[in-house]
Amino acid sequence: MAVVLLGAALLIVQPQAVSSRPAVSSEGDAAAQPAQKEPFRKNDFRETICPNGTFQQLPQTVIIGVRKGGTRALLEMLSLHPDVAAAESEVHFFDWEEHFRNGLQWYTNQMPFSHPHQITVEKTPAYFTSPEVPERVYSMNRLIKLLLILRDPTERVLSDYTQVFFNHVQKHKSYPSIEELLVKDGELNVNYKAINRSLYYVHMQNWLKYFPLDHIHIVDGDKLIKDPFPEIVKVERFLQLTPQINASNFYFNKTKGFYCLRDSGRDRCLHESKGRAHPKVDPVLLEKLHRYFHEPNQRFFELVGRMFDWH
Ligand code: A3P
């Protein structure tokens, strides 16, 4: 490792190694090891160390999705832990070509400054449903710990619609009703993107080509809404963090209708865009959606060896 002093900053040039072989199934030792600071082969890869000892590092864990699953809540809750440093905004490194082209040094530069004992986390919900992403993440770090938060696929569709609807409203643009998007020629419009994103087994299969199941911790997004603390304890355990988040870090806010966070006496709820009312959908159409997801859900349960309380 070469060490170069540059003004106030110390640059460490760290040649690192990477494996090019997919860990399809049996290497499942990630759960038994601390989050790895595993690495890259780029000889020009640098970590900038500040005088206060903090530096930017590649994430040891990534929240890969799913969009509208509760990814922001998960990130904020995990950030209550003193040993976690979270990237503020969604980085879209692995799924946006113009970002990916910039390489790992660029990715590192998007990360927060953290202390050596901290782990870095970023969340980009679109990763889960982008077919090219698993291989790219694997090439970066085959031992990375992945966090995936899922909720009832039908609820997720409604939440997805609601987000896009409000994005249009903010830009003073019109947007079709949910019925117009969900129905085509009298049938369920299975080409509607929001429906495809809720076919969890399809996307999960892509990830399992590269990562064994025990590298991917699935957070139950419906449970995280109703009672976040037990879900966060499981995440702490998966990441092998010392248990530091307490039940007292969460309180139910009746006005918001969701749990909010309490940290060093400071109370905060998630942004108003999280936890919006969903559109009322014709019960017959809703039932069609539930029935449509039934089989894919079963396939997902088989794939991950775990059941979820979905319709
Ligand atoms: P809705 O806005 O449809 O209710 P994401 O951050 O991935 O976009 O997910 C948004 C969803 O997080 C929200 O969907 C909301 O249901 C869920 N959520 C989970 N815990 C929450 C919390 N404590 N506060 C607000 N929203 C929360």
Q: Is the dihedral of CA 123, 129, 130, 136 positive or negative?
A: positive
Strand partners, 183: 188
pLDDT of residue 183: 96
What is the spatial distance between Cα 275 and Cα 5, in angstroms, rounded to a whole number?
A: 48
In the chain, the amino acid numbered 110 is: Q
Strand partners, 49: 10, 55
pLDDT of residue 228: 98
pLDDT of residue 46: 58
Over residues 214-239, mean pLDDT: 98
Q: Which residue has the CA at smallest separation from atom 4 of ligand 1? A: 275
User: Residue 68 C-alpha to ligand 1 middle, in angstroms?
Assistant: 7
- Contact 219/231 with Cβ under 8 angstroms? yes
Q: Which residue has the CA at smallest separation from atom 23 of ligand 1? A: 259
Q: What is the pLDDT of residues 255-267, one digit of tens each?
A: 999 999 999 889 9
pLDDT of residue 28 exceeding 80: no
Superfamily of domain 55-304: P-loop containing nucleotide triphosphate hydrolases (3.40.50.300)
Q: What is the pLDDT of residues 173-218, one digit of tens each?
A: 999 999 999 999 999 999 999 999 999 999 999 999 999 999 999 9
Q: Which residue has the CA at smallest separation from atom 16 of ligand 1? A: 275
Best residue among 62, 63, 68, 227 to mutate for probing ligand 1, ranked by most atoms within 8 Å of CB = 68
Residue spans of the domains in the chain: they are: 55-304
Provide the residue count of the chain. Answer: 311
The alpha helices in the chain, defined as continuous H runs, are: 71-78, 97-100, 103-109, 133-140, 153-170, 178-182, 193-197, 200-208, 221-226, 228-238, 283-304
Report residues whose beta carbon is within 6 angstroms of any ligand 1 atom.
67-73, 125, 159, 162, 224-225, 258-259, 270, 274-276
